[in-house]
């Protein structure tokens, strides 16, 4: 027999079954089949499938009883073949077996040296209105960001008036007057900068405070400044620096500046704190050149 392409493999040879007369009205087949895989001949005359006979499992039933002298020949067009289970290393990782059926959208992931299981692709933020932006992550959450740019969001704020400062307590500095705020991200009523949508990245912050004693010749004491990071996920931390004058030093005013770079994601917020240790109640001096803060996105 001629053919095009590669020679087709022969999974099993065709088989012939004979039943001597009298055939009667049914024949028990050597193997299961269907009218599409079994040919029936009575004394060499081919019978028409469905019209002259039907098959269910291993039973071939004739529509009419065969003549008493007729011999039946059954030609099975093919056998059911068990190709077996692939051997070790032919598919690898124990034939890609897993204990569960998984769910829609999952994929198979190697979960051990000789094990695989179903896994789910991490969900991405919505792509709506995010043309030209890229994905960034803090290691657990992904968000959209803009490449380059003019270092925005950016803001500047200061304390407008003098105020008495609590001794020996971390206290938020009330930066209540805005100089600029490009993305309306600094709230001067709560003295808080919050990272807006699509603005995750590295930020630079700076703060300066000036404190004074109630009278000349009294020590201002030890000052600690803190840039407080409140995380959208609930964790928080304060980056602080302290500065202390020598014992017995007397100053009416004392100023201090703190800068820091923070990695922030959408929803994180930043506030500015101070801690003063002194025997006297200090006053926080207001004004643009006395107590102020600023911040902007680096990248």
Q: Give dist(CA 25, CA 12) in Å, integer.
A: 29
Q: Are residues 72 and 173 part of one domain?
A: no
DSSP classification of residue 275: E
Question: How much is the average pLDDT of 93-108?
Answer: 66
**Total domains in the fold of the chain:** 2
Q: Are residues 268 and 182 part of one domain?
A: yes
Residue 95 located in a structural domain: no
Tokens (6 digits) for 258: 């703190």
Q: Residues 171-193: pLDDT tens digits?
A: 899 999 999 999 999 999 999 99
Residue 134 located in a structural domain: no
Q: Is the pLDDT of residue 224 over 90?
A: no
Give the pLDDT confidence score for residue 248 in this predicted structure: 52
Q: Are residues 168 and 64 part of one domain?
A: no
Q: How far is CA 153 from the centre of its chain?
A: 26
Q: Is the pLDDT of residue 246 over 50?
A: no
Q: Residue 45's pLDDT band (boundaries 50, 70, 90)?
A: very high
Structural domain span for residue 281: 154-297
Q: Residues 6-22: pLDDT tens digits?
A: 555 445 557 899 999 99
Q: Give dist(CA 11, CA 29) in Å, integer.
A: 20
Which of these ranges, 59-63, 70-74, 201-205, 213-217, has the smallest mean pLDDT? 213-217
Is residue 157 classed as helix, strand or coil in its secondary structure? strand
What end-to-end distance do the CA atoms of the chain give, in Å?
72
Q: Is the pLDDT of residue 96 over 60?
A: no
Q: Are residues 171 and 68 part of one domain?
A: no
Question: How much is the average pLDDT of 55-63?
Answer: 94
Q: Nearest 5°: CA angle at 52, between 51 and 53? A: 100
Q: Residues 113-171: pLDDT tens digits?
A: 667 778 888 777 888 888 877 888 777 778 887 665 568 999 999 999 988 777 778 88
Q: Are residues 164 and 43 part of one domain?
A: no
| Entry field: residues in the chain | 299
Residue 204 located in a structural domain: yes
Residue 124 located in a structural domain: no
Q: Are residues 285 and 161 part of one domain?
A: yes
Average pLDDT, the chain: 80
Give the pLDDT confidence score for residue 61 in this predicted structure: 96
- Look at phi and psi of residue 5 and say left if phi exceeds 0, alpha if psi is from -120 to 50, else beta: left
Q: Are residues 159 and 72 part of one domain?
A: no
Higher per-residue confidence, 238 vs 210 = 210
Which of these ranges, 30-44, 104-118, 229-243, has the smallest mean pLDDT? 229-243
| 190, 212 Cβ separation under 8 angstroms | no
Q: Is the pLDDT of residue 110 over 90?
A: no
Q: Give dist(CA 113, CA 175) in Å, integer.
A: 56
């Amino acid at each position: 027999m001629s053919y095009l392409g590669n020679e087709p493999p022969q999974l099993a040879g065709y088989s012939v079954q004979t039943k001597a007369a009298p055939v009667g009205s049914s024949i028990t087949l050597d193997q299961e089949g269907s009218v599409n895989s079994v040919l029936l001949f009575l004394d060499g005359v081919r019978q028409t499938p469905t019209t002259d006979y039907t098959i269910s499992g291993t039973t071939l039933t004739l529509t009419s009883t065969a003549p008493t002298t007729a011999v039946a020949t059954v030609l099975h067009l093919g056998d059911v073949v068990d190709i077996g289970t692939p051997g070790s290393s032919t598919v690898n990782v124990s034939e890609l077996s897993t204990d569960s059926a998984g769910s829609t959208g999952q994929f198979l992931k190697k979960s051990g040296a000789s094990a695989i299981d179903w896994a789910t692709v991490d969900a991405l933020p919505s792509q709506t209105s995010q043309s030209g932006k890229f994905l960034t992550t803090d290691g657990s959450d992904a968000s959209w960001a803009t490449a380059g740019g003019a270092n925005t969001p950016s803001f500047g704020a200061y304390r407008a008036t003098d105020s008495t400062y609590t001794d020996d307590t971390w206290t938020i500095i009330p930066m209540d007057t805005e100089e600029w705020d490009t993305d309306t991200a600094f709230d001067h009523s709560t003295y808080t900068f919050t990272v807006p949508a699509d603005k995750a990245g590295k930020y630079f912050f700076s703060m300066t405070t000036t404190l004074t004693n109630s009278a000349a010749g009294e020590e201002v004491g030890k000052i600690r400044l803190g840039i407080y990071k409140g995380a959208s996920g609930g964790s928080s931390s304060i980056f602080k620096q302290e500065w202390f004058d020598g014992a017995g030093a007397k100053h009416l005013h004392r100023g201090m500046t703190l800068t820091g770079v923070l990695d922030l994601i959408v929803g994180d917020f930043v506030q500015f704190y101070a801690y003063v240790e002194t025997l006297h109640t200090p006053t926080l001096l207001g004004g643009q050149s006395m107590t102020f803060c600023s911040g902007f996105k680096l990248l």
